[in-house]
A and B are shown apart, each in its own frame.
Chain A
């Protein structure tokens, strides 16, 4: 029973510390709330609309004007007219427009006399989303313009309307976006960025808390309080942080899939253990880093590097398969990567536990990561023989 009392003492002391120093609450609840508000409001409707598309109309005919009106009529695009290509190019270099459509001189008469005028468009791939969406919009519109030209001829030839569609559009793709039917950027980004920020705050705060004991020389006192057992110190501290971050993690899941109605193919009851595993695994990583490097500033710098990289290595932006083979395996070293795999199984595909139990085991393994290094941490706690700042 002695160790329960010791653990209890550590918990009480940690709670007192949190009450006294607002940095703990600001660094966890504050940061996460800010990010939740940021990501859930920043992407607004989920997909940008009225992406600026530059048009240089060298023809100024009814056909070219109709083409411009058609782009304006789509939700995606909004045209901006330029007199010369020079002006349009400068605007594209400035990032003011995402693309330029050049309508050739004589478009109207050339189409009418089957001379096949070439339509040219330029995209700015440096503004990624804007450029891609403009590309999609322009490609659609130019193919529709082609269809319209063909339809006009077919009508003149007396082909009936029912047949025309089958002639000018023999094929059609029915696209199903599994897990994100609205192609919402908000669903895509927030689903992973917010757990990423959660992992970040856990790793940093755990290092900060344990490093603080070393830095302010209170580590021996803490060890004595815990009955000389480093395990008790860690159990006491992680009890507090698991409560704190577990609550934050569950709130996050409830906010995403309950309040914000993010699409969820599986069950919310499966996402709760998933996020709790992420919390535990991230705590394991935090303790591991400070045990390897019991120098608070070094450990915090490494923790910062690690948790920012985790967002890249999770593979929801650039998939891990596209990374260089030499570093691909590194992705396994980030709990967020395993959480991403769970997420894509449960939220996107709805496979249930059977689809992601292996990832759950991976996450559990992170919890035991610091075990071999506990003696090192204990020595650091006793001898305080590392630089303090």
Chain B
């Protein structure tokens, strides 16, 4: 008897999944979101952020000092990857109007006492003006000016010690007693695209799945049916069967799309894929399952087909901020930290970055995997609850 029960259960699950698949493939809108948006979006974002590195930000230079150090400083800044000395101006007014015409994004100003101060062995100050409309302009001007300053300081000091009669080695051990070595192993040039795209990829999985599922749930509602309607032959509680059965239909589709997004898209665009294939697969298994029950739970609240776009589109950029890859998680206000636990991407994106970009194994994503697992269980229960409540409501209204 028991074996029969299990077999029937499996059969029901199978049938429900097939029914869901038929619904999905009959609905053009859902297909559009799953297969066109799901497949094209990641490519599109990669194309938009293809270069990812801002090079040669134009700056203007006002050299009132006109000494050898300032001239060398200007040449060296021009030689950096970050900036390009586009204009040499006679005064600040001219440089300022260039900035207002958006021809330059930064100004470097050498005051007239710059050279004299250096000759007197005092600290000479130069001024840097940065356009803050985009932080990347600021970052470029700042890094270029500071790097050149450090190397110039070394040169000036070495020259002075040489004049005082020190050997080069003695001078170096005074000027730079502790030389340093910089490593940026996962994103060597602080590329904007490598950091952003790694986080965006899993957001795309979650959001397209969520929009597709809600579209379908909304359609059924509009047709006076419900996602929770059980086939007539199931008289008893079919809650688990509905949730598991509908789930595997999405699971089948999204494991495919997910693998495409997590493995193939980064490979096409030459993004780092340092993780172990099976480790990332484990993450995908958990993440996709989590997204399915997340979608099922929240789509229960939608009663019209298109409403999801009106009400929830803004969540995509917010989810991206909540992943903590730009604004660090340690600086989240407590309320938003709690709020971020609503979304699978909060854990999923970090886990993906840690494994796929930073090359860690599963232990590098341990916290996130546990988070995803807890979330999956939670959303599975709420999805069941949604079906149960919906069914009770349907039966009540029918009776």
Contact = CB atoms under 8 A, between A and B. Distances in A.
A311 B219 CA distance: 30
Interface stretch (B125-133, B282-290, B382-390): B125-133
B33 A177 contact: no
B327 A42 contact: yes
A215 B310 CA distance: 16
A118 B172 CA distance: 13
A207 to B, nearest CB: 8
A298 interface: yes
A304 interface: yes
A127 B328 CA distance: 7
Size class of the contact patch on chain B: 35 or more
Contacts of B1: none
Interface in A55-85: none
Interface string B12-39: 0000000000000000110011000100
Contact of A179 (B131, B194, B196): B131
Interface string B371-391: 000000000000000000000
Given A122-B184, A167-B121, A171-B152, A344 B133 contact: yes
A316 B134 contact: yes
Contact of A117 (B133, B178, B311, B313): B178
Contacts of A48: 327-328, 330-331
A173 B127 contact: yes
Nearest to A119: B180
A11 to B, nearest CB: 21
The B contact surface, by secondary structure, is helix
Contacts of A193: 317
Interface in A123-147: 123-132, 139, 142-143, 145-146
Contacts of B125: 171-174
Contacts of A128: 190, 192, 195-196, 325-326
Give the interface size class of chain A.
35 or more
Contact of B182 (A24, A123, A201, A298): A123
A301 B308 CA distance: 11
B172 A129 contact: no
Given A93-B364, A120-B180, A313-B48, A200 B195 contact: no
A323 B47 CA distance: 8
Interface in A145-160: 145-146, 149-150, 153
A317 B192 contact: yes
B309 A38 contact: no
A387 B100 CA distance: 50
A24 B304 CA distance: 13
Contact of B179 (A98, A118, A153, A312): A118
Question: Which of B51, B126, B175, B314: most chain A CB closer than 10 A?
Answer: B314
Given A41-B336, A124-B186, A173 B128 contact: yes
Interface stretch (B2-10, B236-244, B255-263, B350-358): B350-358
A243 interface: no
Interface in A191-205: 193, 196-197, 200-201, 204-205
A130 to B, nearest CB: 4
B94 interface: no
Contact of B336 (A38, A183, A296): A38
A286 B219 CA distance: 23
Given A35-B314, A172-B124, A212-B306, 17 more contacts: A44-B331, A94-B364, A95-B358, A117-B178, A120-B180, A143-B150, A153-B174, A172-B123, A173-B125, A175-B127, A208-B309, A301-B33, A304-B309, A315-B134, A341-B102, A348-B132, A349-B131
In the A-B complex, the 6 residue pairs with the closest CB atoms: A125-B187, A93-B360, A344-B133, A27-B310, A48-B331, A149-B177
